[in-house]
Amino acid sequence: MEKVLIANRGEIALRVIEACREEGLFSVAVYSEAEREALHVREATEAVCIGPADPRRSYLSIPALIAACEVTGADALHPGYGFLSENPDLAEICEAHGITFIGPSAEVLRLCGDKVAAKEAAKAAGLPVLPGSPPLSDENEAEKWAEDLGYPLLLKAAAGGGGRGIRLVRSPAELKTLFPQAKKEAELAFGDGRVFLERYVPEPRHVEVQILADKFGNVVHWGTRDCTVQRRHQKLVEEAPAPALPPKLRERISRAAVRLAEHLGYVGAGTVEFLVEGEDFYFIEVNARIQVEHPVSEMLVGRNLVREQLRVAQGKPLGYRQEQIELYGHAIECRINAEDPDRGFLPSTGRVWLHSLPGGMGIRVDTHIYHGMPVLPYYDPLLAKIIAHGEDREEARTRLYSALRRFQISGVKTNRDLLLSVISHPQFAMASLATDFLERIKLSR
């Protein structure tokens, strides 16, 4: 493996370029016609345009990506997160063309992408799962399963991800209304109209485990993360380790994640996600890729997870055992998005004008923005991730609040002020968290 094509954009593309430099590999950036001046285009060893601004004709086009590999001589492809990062067809086609796909196998991607099949695999590995239905063909079948499971329930897309395709169903009348809507949305969003029902947990915590596996059967975890503060099932604040978890419960969750990875024959970096309710935890899904929130785990472990992905893809062993991983301190990350919280998180476009960026002890900023950069309507609204690390959670929280105050840009609306309210809220400071945090707490802003 000598040259890595990065099938992505934004800050994750920059992370992969950085890791390629550290690993002594050449990097190839791809870009749409609208992003010729993007930072990842400037930083890569070389760059190639793969199509127009519409991501369906550029970043989501497998033929365009494979052609870019052939034109540039790239012998590996890193998918980043989002876009085609969990697409088994891309992994298969890469293999057919002699291109190393930096991620798990197409078989594992296909299984993990099917939420119902993934739950069955988790059960087979001995993990606890929430009671639920198989994929449902029609409303009558859905009504029968709902009656057996009991309301309230979550109606979920079998091929869903990233918090999309989820609806809360409280009654038979709501099920009758929401079922056809959910099937239609699932078909449009994921190309797969299958939906299923799952028991609803009212005030859970969202806890996940970062795992890493090599091609020799070695699997380790990098501890837990908490991603409980969300809006519309999409994460806003993430931290590691998950706070206020009893040590025995933390160990049980971590061991369960490793056990599942071993059962799947997983290779590469991935995340096993759980809902935590009191002393109980339930498997949700496997994100078979690198996560947006991976920096908080990196801060605790002191290793570059993207570089670890490259090393594993080259056939190198991990080179360390679980007992050699030491987690130091606490880290919290906030996602700065170009959106307006006062208008239902409506995406905001325009040009970014930088006034100040934070830095200093324990502060890290992962971003692709530059002064005068256009924020386009075609892509994810993520502008930056601000990560704070401290000896304990309170030090990390205090540093993050200060860093957020020093993150000052104009030209587009952002969620910065909302994040300041979250980080400074007494219940966040006490780690009194649930997935409905934003809804149940009136934030003073």
Q: What is the set of active-site residues?
A: 289
> How large is the greatest C-alpha to C-alpha distance in the chain, in angstroms?
59
Task: Point out which residues pair with 346 in neighbouring strands.
Answer: 340
SS (H, E, C) 32-89: EHHHCCCHHHHHCCEEEEEECCCHHHCCCCHHHHHHHHHHHCCCEEECCCCCCCCCHH
- Count the alpha carbons within 13 Å of 257 in the hemisphere toward its beta carbon: 33
Task: Give dist(CA 413, CA 337) in Å, integer.
Answer: 8
Query: Are 274 and 236 a contacting pair, CB within 8 Å?
Result: no
Tell me whether the omega of the peptide bond preceding residue 152 falls within 30 degrees of 0, making it cis. yes
Task: Give dist(CA 322, CA 4) in Å, integer.
Answer: 29
Helix axes 416-424, 393-406, angle to 10 degrees: 150
How many helices (H) and strands (E) the chain has is answered by: 15, 24
**How many other C-beta atoms can be found within 10 angstroms of the C-beta atom of residue 114?**
18
Task: Give the closest residue to 290 by CA, choosing from 304, 302, 301, 300.
Answer: 304
Task: Give dist(CA 5, CA 26) in Å, integer.
Answer: 9
**How many other C-beta atoms can be found within 10 angstroms of the C-beta atom of residue 22?**
11
Query: Are 68 and 49 a contacting pair, CB within 8 Å?
Result: no
Task: Point out which residues pair with 373 in neighbouring strands.
Answer: none
* Secondary structure (3-state) at 140: helix
Encoding tokens for residue 342?
A: 């006062």
Task: Give dist(CA 14, CA 367) in Å, integer.
Answer: 8
Task: Give dist(CA 56, CA 188) in Å, integer.
Answer: 13
**How many other C-beta atoms can be found within 10 angstroms of the C-beta atom of residue 343?**
10
* Close Cβ partners of 150 (under 8 Å, ≥ 6 residues apart): 199
